[in-house]
Structure 1
Amino acid sequence: LLIGLGVQWLFKQDAAILATNANLPWQTPWNWEITWQVLVVGFFFFSQIFLPLFLPLVTQLAGVDISSLALRGKAGYILLSYLLMTGGGLAILYYSIKQFLPLPDDWFRFKLRSNWFLWGFGGYLVAVPLVLLVSLLNQQIWQGQGGGNPIILLALQAQDKLALLIFFTTACIAAPVFEEIIFRGFFLPSLTRYLPIWGAISISAVLFAVAHLSLSEILPLTVLGLLLGFVYTRSRNLLAPILLHSLWNSGTLLSLFLLGSG
């Protein structure tokens, strides 16, 4: 199927399925200041600076030592921090763009009755070999250095089923929904006011990778971000990249669980 779609694109170009909406920008009512306000304040500042300082202070005042918690407690703490990050980030997004409401129909579109599942699942089938290949090359560069995702590092230790369920909820539901709303739902379309579709996909993919704060994962996450952006611009439905993102994270956690139990 994937080879067939590739051949169709090669011969039909703009009329091919893979070329759907390839050059159709979003109608963006705000300027670059609103775009960077949401990304810098709503995502990077709130999630990477404010919460990491504020939440430990609150837990310390409450007499809770996070480092001494069992794995289940640490999993709950990560889920709580991610839910707070999601709530704060989406609140900043809403208040930044509410003056422009109602938005054009193609913004933040969630449509159950469309081909989003095919785009999301098809994107995942492409992502598996492509991202894994880049990851293998990436390992030769970093040799196991450069940091890692704390959820993944903790999941390696998790044989507690409830802890694994909490990790799954965080990585495979909360993270895909929030990150796709911010990076594909808002940031990528906003960039199409100034850039062609391919440029918006590329920049949003790089910043998506940088946002994970792991040097060793920038290359594979950029490739994943490119695929997520491609799927969203073609489907124009946020359910498609959310599905792809969720399947990718689910596969990662499942492989870690199998390795840990082997």
Structure 2
Amino acid sequence: MALASALIVSASPAKLTPASIVVSRRFSGPLWVNPISLRRVSSPVDSIRVAAVSEKPSSSSKQSGLNLPILERWDVPWGWQTVLFTMLACGLSFAWAGLLEAVAYPYLGLHVGEASLDQQAEILLVGQFVVTASVLGVLYGITNTFKPLPNDIFRYDLKDPINLQKGWLLWAGIGLLCAIAIVVLVGFLLNIINSERPEREADVLIKLLPLIGSSSISTICLVGVTGVFAPLVEETVFRGFLMVSLTKWFPTPVSVLLSAAVFAFVHLAPGEFTQLFVFGSILGFSYAQTRNLLTPITIHGLWNTGVILLLIFLQYQGYDVRQVLQAWKGW
């Protein structure tokens, strides 16, 4: 399969990686009131009439189907300067956390090259936790200066998981199935169009190969890195902040695509840009549907975890996982 980086997004810490209703954003048109009614609003009866008239556009808007969740924008309280500054600060905090790890480990008596496989997996987990805490700390530290934030910004809500319109678990399942089908199809088409593909990010998996299935501890650590911390930080930054912020200036579908392009670019995997872009777009549209960050986080986490567990299964079945990964690179 040609699924290198798309098969596991940000598998290592070396890659960086929402319900109040605001009338001006969520309604397709402004609420209207008959001007004649406003002139005689002194009586209770007329007040009731005004209220009844005010509610009609909202009801008809919903019945018309024009007010689709996936098309609605967020009410963003910050400007473009904050967006640029925050993204830069998150990038710097990511780099700083990695540098801090490299300097701190020797002082703590930890030598990665001499560590056992379980110790290497634990170091990897701790490193990803430090990166996640650092980046999210910077992100929330900056955006909290704009409190109170709308309830649908940075929303992690476990309620109504299978609601047909907003259910985070239901739409995570739908998004995951779409991601598998579309990403595989895109990879197949790209392989037909261009047989000479550049270096692929399956190399990331190859570097992790000694840890895959070596023990229950290493497996838990890898799932923690790829299935929990990496999806949490990446989806909060790219969907929860960047995509939401872009809806202040662009329609939501355009914001989804722009944030997906940035998401794919920062993974520094040119050979996988198209598949990462497609995957990021599916994550973005799933989030726009539910306005709940648990949706893209769940899709992202299940995708990465599924890859790790699949490789472990193949290994237990007697397959040479290294050859499987090399085949993915050339598919």
For normalisation by structure 1, the TM-score amounts to 0.85
8 A contact 1:156–1:257 mirrored in 2? no
The number of residue pairs the alignment matches comes to 245
Tell me if 1:239 matches 2:294: yes
1:54 corresponds, among 82, 100, 104, to 100
Structure 2 counterpart SS, 1:22:
helix
The Cα shift of 1:226 comes to: 0.2
Closer, same or farther: CA 256–20 of 1 in aligned 2, 3 Å: farther
Which ranges of structure 1 fall in alignment gaps of 5 or more residues?
Answer: 1-13
User: Which of the pair is proportionally richer in helix?
Assistant: 1
Deviation track 1:175-234 (CA, whole Å, cap 9, x = no partner) reads 222211111111110011111111210111112122333333322111110000000001
Closer, same or farther: CA 60–142 of 1 in aligned 2, 3 Å: farther
The Cα shift of 1:26 comes to: 0.5
Aligned residue for 2:223? Answer: 168
Aligned residue for 2:28? Answer: none
Larger radius of gyration: 2
What is the distance in 2 between the residues matched to 1:77 and 1:200? 36
What does residue range 1-262 of structure 1 map to in structure 2 within 5 Å? 15=65, 20-42=68-90, 44-47=91-94, 49-114=95-160, 115-138=167-190, 140=194, 143=197, 145-148=199-202, 150=204, 153-155=207-209, 157-159=211-213, 160-261=215-316, 262=318
**Root-mean-square deviation over aligned CA pairs:** 2.2
Closer, same or farther: CA 153–216 of 1 in aligned 2, 3 Å: farther
Letter in 1 for 2:93: F
Letter in 2 for 1:153: K
What is the distance in 2 between the residues matched to 1:229 and 1:207? 12
Closer, same or farther: CA 213–46 of 1 in aligned 2, 3 Å: farther
Identical counterparts, % of pairs? 30
8 A contact 1:22–1:234 mirrored in 2? yes
For normalisation by structure 2, the TM-score amounts to 0.68
What is the distance in 2 between the residues matched to 1:55 and 1:167? 18
